[in-house]
Amino acid sequence: MGCATTTVKISSILFNTLLALFAIAAIVLIAVYPGAVPDDWDTAAFIIFGLVILFAIIGCVAALRESICLTVTCAVFLLLLAILQIAVTIIILNDRQTQSGIAIVEDAWDHDKIEALQAKYECCGKDSSQDYILLNRQIPLSCYEDQTEDANKMYTEGCSAKLQRYYDSETASIATVSWVVTALEILGFLLAVFLVINFRNKQRRMQF
């Protein structure tokens, strides 16, 4: 039994460390790419992942000290965090499904804001530079690399396809990171429960 307890302790420490690293990676992702989550959810995401790091650290300390109280506290909060994160992730992904890169480009084109997207994502027009030619409009400098009017440096891909591809890739990254962290939270909860059982059994044996 002592060997089993030690094995679970080590496993708990390793998984809590991994959980903290994933949460840190998620925070870095959100910080580096502000659009990684909807604007209304970025603060909530920072708070959730910050709490994940906090309780992952508590989980490591609880395992090292064999503290039943700390381990129970960690288990309860990890379970609550997992439930909360599942709900938030579903809401965020549903919000992103109601939007699309194509819709963003259409709106920018209709409101003469397409140049900012062209410069940022290195694309030209909605479908291609032909969009400007068909409307007898001059192709803007934002369609060219280094903002220089050189036919050899013109972006050939339209913004709709490029932004949609970027948008889909970003959504997939959000889903992957969030579900992996959620799975680790649940696993951490299960390990904590098993540790509590082992710690209590150990205390009972020491009384005899």
pLDDT tens profile 3-60: 666 777 788 888 888 888 888 888 887 788 766 666 666 777 788 888 888 888 888 8
Structural domain count of the chain: 2
Residues 143/124, Cβ–Cβ less than 8 Å: yes
Does 87 lie in the same domain as 157? no
Residue 154's DSSP bridge partners are 144
Question: Is residue 1 pLDDT above 60, yes or no?
Answer: no
Does 21 lie in the same domain as 90? yes
d(CA 79, CA 182): 9
Does 105 lie in the same domain as 95? no
In a domain, 8, yes or no: yes
d(CA 99, CA 171): 11
d(CA 40, CA 37): 8
Structure token pair of residue 64? 């090292």
Q: What CATH number should be reported for the domain holding residue 126?
A: 1.10.1450.10
Residues 6 or more apart whose Cβ sits within 8 Å of residue 48 = 81, 84, 85, 88
The mean pLDDT value for 131-160 works out to: 88
167-196 tens-digit pLDDT: 888 788 778 877 887 888 888 888 888 888
Q: To 10 degrees, what angle do helices 159-206 and 114-121 make? A: 60
**What's the domain range around 82?**
2-99+177-206
pTM, rounded to two decimals: 0.69
Does 61 lie in the same domain as 34? yes
